[in-house]
Amino acid sequence: MPNIYDPQQYKLDDRPMENFLDANEIWDILKRNENPDPQRVREVIARALDKNRLTLDETAVLINANTPELIEEIKNGARQLKEKVYGKRIVLFAPLYIGNLCVNNCAYCGFRADNQKQKRMTLSPEEIRDEVTMLEDAGHKRLILVFGEHPKYDPQFIADTVRQVYKVKHLNGEIRRVNINAAPLDVDGFKTVKDAGIGTYQVFQETYHRDTYLKVHLGGKKRDYDWRITSLDRAQEAGIDDVGIGALLGLYDWRFEVMGLLRHVNHFEAVYNVGPHTISFPRIKTASGFKVRDDYNVSDEDFTRLVAILRLAVPYTGLILTAREPAHIRDEVLQFGVSQIDGGTNIEMKGYSKQKNQQDLDQEQFTIGDNRSLNEVMEELIGHGYLPSFCTACYRLKRTGEHFMEFSVPGFIKRFCQPNAILTMAEYLEDYAPQKTKEMGYHLIEENLKDYRDEQFREKLSQRLDRIKKGERDLYF
Ligand code: SAM
Ligand code: SF4
């Protein structure tokens, strides 16, 4: 087993449900690793490639490596790690906006309470059914439900919505994993939501920098930094060990935010012995009544660089990239080990079921940068040799810590993830793909089958593929 948990990097006095972040500590670490020797940078990259989880100091070394040559070496390191550990799978999902009522005033968000232009609505059960049906008809199997923060969206409401989504089945379609992005709850609230069978619960800290946090969160419960930063501790206390953290890039210095994310990972590992399931790092986008400011703007170059740094720093955590990014950025950072992307995304309320010719900025939470359909994304991925996956096997077989297993259990990807990617992709090709995508997809599957030297296993996989072609669904290892 690789040395992932290095006790030296934990602050041993971390406690459950208490803020752990000390801004001075983070700045000290960044400062003491300024202008790193190129040799040191290479050592750190080599340690990550050797399957070690990086310390805060080591991550600061990578963040401070500023020459074009070293940045390229970091990106190359991330590419290698991705190839070596994760192979070619990319998991696909779609967000579904359930309601945009919100009591908070986050300066950057179109849903903020004092945005008069926003039409407020909450999907009715029929509307949820219509949206989910459209998503299933496109081929989706994994959704993330998104909610504003409002008394109406209490834990019972969220749990009922989750159950309802699971019940919608159209033709061969079904949603097999529902994740949540909603306001922080208390421990009992998280228990209620857990009982509905959710996958991951995501809460983004937005910025780990307290002063900035207070500047952009102008009212409502979300203004309470400590309640927010401890939210996923409460989720863990409630038994949800599958949590997603995130920072909204562009509010403060990205270097600090990357260190904040890593410190958050350390906290979970120190206190709950399990890191977060996923990390998200959306770059802030223009929203109704809000223009992105230049001060902390994260350039494309810095963005791609920080994704590579994160991959090396937390090699066993899922990295999520969203449709907020334009296609060319998505295509680049996929090479560094982003493990999940959304496809065919629509973030307008009722957006999937209504024909939309033009984006209506006033009604979306923010603008998105990639408007391709799920099938266009599939074709692009397949064309580049990636294996799009709708796999939900680990979650349904209660194999928790799947990213950790992928990373640390030899052969796990080959025996489970890759075949399951192939099987779920075949379902997509049978049920939803146009002829051209189907041909491309099966060609890629054939190529991948050749990689299996274990004939018995290859045979097993081929048999399951045949069963899918004959109409069986939901086969997995
Ligand atoms: N209301 C809940 C909350 O604030 O945590 C969950 C839903 S909120 C709609 C989901 C995420 O959208 C936020 O955590 C934030 O990071 C992101 N977001 C808000 N405004 C954004 C913008 N202008 N550009 C990019 N992402 C944005
Ligand atoms: Fe409300 Fe979330 Fe938007 Fe803030 S980010 S205004 S809490 S929906």
Looking at the chain, the whole-number percentage of residues with pLDDT higher than 90 is 75
Tokens of 253: 């210095």
Listed residue (120, 22, 25, 49) closest to 308, CA to CA: 49
pLDDT at 148 over 90: yes
Every domain of the chain with CATH number 3.20.20.70 lies at 83-407
Rounded CA-CA distance 96/28 in Å is: 40
CATH architecture of 83-407: Alpha-Beta Barrel (3.20)
pLDDT at 19 over 50: yes
If one compares 87 and 378, the residue with the highest pLDDT of the two is 378
Confidence at residue 198, expressed as pLDDT on a 0 to 100 scale: 97
Ligand 1, CB cutoff 6 Å, lining residues: 108-109, 111, 146-149, 181-183, 203-204, 206, 248, 282, 284-285, 287, 324, 365-366
DSSP 31-100: HHT-S--HHHHHHHHHHHHTTPPPPHHHHHHHHT--SHHHHHHHHHHHHHHIIIIITTEEEEEEEEEEE-
Number of the ligand 1 atom closest to the C-alpha atom of 108? 23
Query: In sequence order, what are the beta bridge partners of 143?
Result: 94, 178
Rounded CA-CA distance 42/160 in Å is: 51
Listed residue (377, 378, 389, 373) closest to 440, CA to CA: 378
Tokens of 183: 């306001």
Rounded CA-CA distance 279/162 in Å is: 22
Q: Name the residue with tokens 């401070």.
A: 64
From the CA of 267, how far away is ligand 2's center (Å)?
25
pLDDT at 310 over 60: yes
Rounded CA-CA distance 171/165 in Å is: 15
Ligand 2 pocket check for 317: Cβ under 6 Å: no
Confidence at residue 448, expressed as pLDDT on a 0 to 100 scale: 94
Confidence at residue 358, expressed as pLDDT on a 0 to 100 scale: 43
If one compares 328 and 267, the residue with the highest pLDDT of the two is 267
Mean pLDDT, rounded, for 340-345: 87
pLDDT in tens, 459-470: 999 999 999 999
Pocket test for ligand 2, best of 185, 222, 347, 349 (most atoms within 8 A of CB): 222
Tokens of 205: 């800290």
CA angle (57 as vertex; 53, 63 as ends), nearest 5: 90
Tokens of 8: 């030296």
Q: Report the predicted TM-score, pTM, of the whole model to 2 decimal places.
A: 0.94
